[in-house]
């Protein structure tokens, strides 16, 4: 199978995923890209070469695009053109000039993709902010965690680090960044929900100046979250919190 697996495609029109038997006319490409020079005139030749080198058991010879993160491309996100036969599953496509595009007589199965803040074509199963870090891994509150289609495991080798596959290129795992979600502010204490990887130990630290940090609690995120209460929070005019993985 031709597939792009566990790849992050960022910030250049030449990383737009494009499948067809011939280069799409520039006038058609202009409908999904504001930059006519981003027309990927050579990509189709690469795809056709790969097709010729592979043996398919299926009659229709599908292309499978699984668990990619496509971000910040002026030439569009993921474009499936006429006559292509593709399965597009568990991809995060965000902040591009277009999201997921299927044109003409293309036969495409879309399943459990995320599109967000693309200029056009934002229809997908998940349309919420993916909550990326700088390396495009996910923080603990991301809606992409455990939201993928597990049937992709028939074609890829990937560790499932939770209840199911995550959407995108990177799984949220034990080293993932936890996040706080305030649940209640009482008169005498402060309550937070620490969202993190199930079963992992985390140390909650507090600071009044974002420079000096002291541990205030050690918690185990048994089911992916744990409640934390700072009973002395009212002793300070303000206090900041962070969570780190326990060593």
Spell out the domain ranges in the chain.
8-154, 179-245
SS3 for 243? strand
pLDDT at 35: 60
How confident is the model at residue 142, as a pLDDT? 92
Of the candidates 62, 67, 56, 58, the residue with the CA atom closest to the CA atom of residue 157: 67
Q: Residue 61 to residues 75, 81, 155, 179: CA-CA distances in angstroms?
A: 26, 15, 14, 43
Task: Classify 152 as helix, strand or coil.
Answer: helix
Q: What pLDDT, on a 0 to 100 scale, did the predictor assign at position 145? A: 94
Structure tokens at 38: 């981003």
Find the largest Cα–Cα distance for the chain.
70
The two tokens of residue 185 are 């502010």
pLDDT score for 183: 67
Q: What is the pLDDT of residue 30?
A: 65
Q: Which residue has the tokens 């599109």?
A: 115
Predicted local distance difference test score (pLDDT) of residue 21: 40
CA-CA distance, 92 to 196, in Å (whole number)? 21
The rounded distance, in Å, linking the Cα atoms of 194 and 192 is 6
Q: What is the CATH number of domain 179-245?
A: 2.60.40
Q: How many Cβ atoms are within 10 Å of 66's Cβ, its own excluded?
A: 27
Residue 6: predicted pLDDT: 43
Q: What are phi and psi of 117, to 5 degrees?
A: 55, 25
User: What is the pLDDT, as a whole number, of residue 228?
Assistant: 80
User: How distant is the alpha carbon of residue 46 from its chain centre?
Assistant: 26
Q: What is the pLDDT along the chain (247 residues), one digit of tens a residue?
A: 334 444 555 544 444 444 444 455 666 666 655 565 555 554 444 444 444 444 434 445 567 888 888 888 776 788 776 666 778 899 999 998 888 887 765 678 899 999 999 988 888 999 999 999 888 889 998 999 999 999 998 888 888 888 899 999 889 988 888 888 766 555 556 678 888 888 888 889 999 999 999 998 887 777 677 888 887 888 888 889 888 887 7
Exposure string over 28-44, b if 16+ CB within 10 A, otherwise e:
ebeebbeeeebbbeebb
């Amino acid at each position: 199978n031709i597939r792009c697996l566990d790849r992050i495609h960022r910030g250049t029109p030449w990383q737009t995923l494009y499948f067809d038997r011939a280069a799409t006319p520039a006038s058609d490409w202009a409908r999904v890209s504001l930059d006519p020079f981003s027309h990927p005139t050579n990509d189709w030749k690469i795809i056709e070469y790969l097709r010729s080198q592979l043996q398919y058991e299926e009659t229709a010879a599908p292309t499978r695009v699984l668990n990619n993160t496509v971000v910040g491309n002026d030439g569009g996100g993921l474009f499936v053109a006429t006559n292509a036969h593709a399965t597009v599953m568990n991809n995060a496509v965000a902040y591009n000039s277009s999201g997921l595009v299927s044109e003409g007589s293309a036969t495409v199965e879309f399943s459990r993709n995320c599109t967000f803040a693309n200029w056009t074509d934002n229809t997908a199963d998940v349309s919420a902010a993916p909550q990326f870090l700088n390396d495009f891994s996910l923080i603990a509150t991301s809606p992409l965690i455990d939201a993928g289609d597990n049937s992709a495991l028939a074609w890829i080798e990937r560790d499932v680090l939770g209840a199911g596959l995550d959407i995108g290129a990177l799984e949220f795992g034990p080293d993932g960044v936890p996040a706080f979600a305030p649940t209640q502010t009482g008169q005498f204490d402060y309550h937070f929900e620490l969202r993190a990887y199930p079963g992992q130990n985390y140390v909650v630290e507090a600071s009044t100046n974002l420079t000096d940090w002291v541990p205030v609690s050690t918690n185990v995120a048994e089911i992916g979250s744990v409640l934390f209460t700072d009973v002395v929070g009212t002793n300070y005019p303000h206090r900041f919190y962070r969570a780190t993985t326990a060593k």
